[in-house]
Amino acid sequence: MQWAYEFGLIGLALRLAAFGVLVVSGYSGKTPTQRTAVISLGVFGAFCLLHDNLSNPATIATATVIAVMAVPGGTRLTLTAPASKRLGLVMICGALALLSFQARLDYANYLLAHSANQSAKEAIEDTLRAGIVDSRGGFYDAIAAMRIDQISNGSKDRAFLVGAADNHFRLALDLNPWSSHLTAAYGDFLMRSHRECEAIETLEKAVSLDFYFSLSHFHLANAYAACRSGDQAAAEAGIAILTTPTLAYATKWRNDPVFLEHALDRSLEWMSEWKASSSPVDREKLRRLEGFLRATRAAPLAGVARVKIILSELVGTQLISDPFAFIFQRRSPPFEPTRIEIDGVDTGSWTPEGIGHITSLRSLRYAELSSLYQRQTVYTMMGSLNRTGPEVTGATR
């Protein structure tokens, strides 16, 4: 049913037919032992194919083994009984080693998936246990930090819990320092902990890792407003609105119309310096974006707020490196590292796509952006964002 839903009945029939050809070709003209092996592998392979999808490693391995067995051709290689035993022992040991490794990862993923239905304290304990079992990329430490942060609100041990969450965030970033999501999550945590000045360095790294989509621009602008000049804060807010136009409705900024107008002025100033795109699609996107900015600039406080929305970035919806998660249909719950509450969107209002969806704007790599933020010249660069310049790649779009 999964295949029929994803590929339609024709796609399902073609894939099953191709798999049947592999099994039949492997079965025909072989010894009884080979036929038995092909039948066994074919049954297991059919289960894998019908159960989920082709990205299942078990499916790929099964289809590969059957294809190798089905290839015609003989060999003069003859193994003695002792050599066969030694080879079999090596293969069994290798299979057990792989099984134990994957079982460990599967157990960690099980703990995380199971924790979604537990109380907050039990969920944190299971998540920490999963982090001990599988420390890949600091994923479980980051989830533990987010859950500890959630229960710290209103707790009598808030100071202790905030410190524990901070430690787990740092551990996660030590294991995966180039993750834009984890860096953004830690920056968001620091802002909510009222450590704005300390958050600046982390947030600058977050936006350097993910310039076009990161909601960390919003937090960075507020951190600048608290610890640096208002002009720098407004310029960063201008970038935030260009990347995520809905942020123009943010309650925090609408309560300060002078600041919001300054930010919108900077955005419009940069757009006026951009060259016309050769792509009709991009020209239309830029036209809509400029129209939205001008309309908001003309009446930044117009209308009555009737709809509350929350912008967020997801860490990930599942651990895709876990093959057992496919077989047993387990999915890790989604986690949101950055949440920005917008309480100013009027009924019937609209927002265009941000500049991350405009392909004519040049890509930006981390090294360049990090240097620009350190020298505080990133806002000068914004005026030439779509001009032909040195080939730079590597930004997340």
Residue 10: its pLDDT value, please? 67
Q: How far is CA 390 from CA 7, 200, 209, 277, 375, in A?
A: 42, 28, 19, 18, 19
Amino acid sitting at position 115: S
Residue 101: its pLDDT value, please? 75
Q: Which of 374, 366, 341, 393 is nearest to 211 (CA)?
A: 366
Angle between helices 57-70 and 2-27 (to 10 degrees): 30
Q: How far is 233 from 256, CA to CA, in rounded Å?
A: 13
Alpha carbon distance, N-terminus to C-terminus of the chain:
33
Encoding tokens for residue 210?
């993910």
Q: Where are the extended beta strands (E) located within 45-145? A: none
Consecutive H or E run containing 347:
none
- Nearest 5°: the CA angle 360, 363, 367 is 160
CB atoms inside a 10 Å sphere around CB 156: 7
- Nearest 5°: the CA angle 252, 255, 259 is 85
Residue 240: its pLDDT value, please? 93
Q: How far is CA 273 from CA 269, 384, 387, in A?
A: 7, 7, 9
Q: Where are the extended beta strands (E) located within the chain? A: 307-313, 338-345
Amino acid sitting at position 165: A
Q: What is the pLDDT along the chain (397 residues), one digit of tens a residue?
A: 444 444 556 666 776 777 677 667 666 766 676 676 666 666 666 655 555 455 555 556 666 666 666 566 665 666 677 887 887 888 788 878 877 777 777 788 778 777 777 888 888 888 888 888 877 767 888 888 888 888 887 788 888 989 999 998 998 888 888 888 888 889 989 998 899 999 999 999 999 998 887 788 999 999 999 998 889 999 999 999 999 898 888 888 888 889 999 999 999 999 888 877 778 888 888 889 998 899 888 876 655 555 666 676 665 444 444 444 444 444 555 566 666 666 666 555 677 888 888 888 878 888 889 998 988 888 888 888 776 444 333 333 3
Q: Say if CB 185 and CB 151 are below 8 A apart.
A: no
Residue 297, class by beta-carbon neighbours within 10 Å (0-12 exposed, 13-18 middle, 19+ buried)? middle
Specify whether the backbone of 73 is left (phi greater than 0), alpha (psi in -120 to 50) or beta: left
Length of the chain: 397
The domains of the chain are located at 1-73
Residue 123: its pLDDT value, please? 86
Q: How far is 370 from 349, CA to CA, in rounded Å?
A: 35
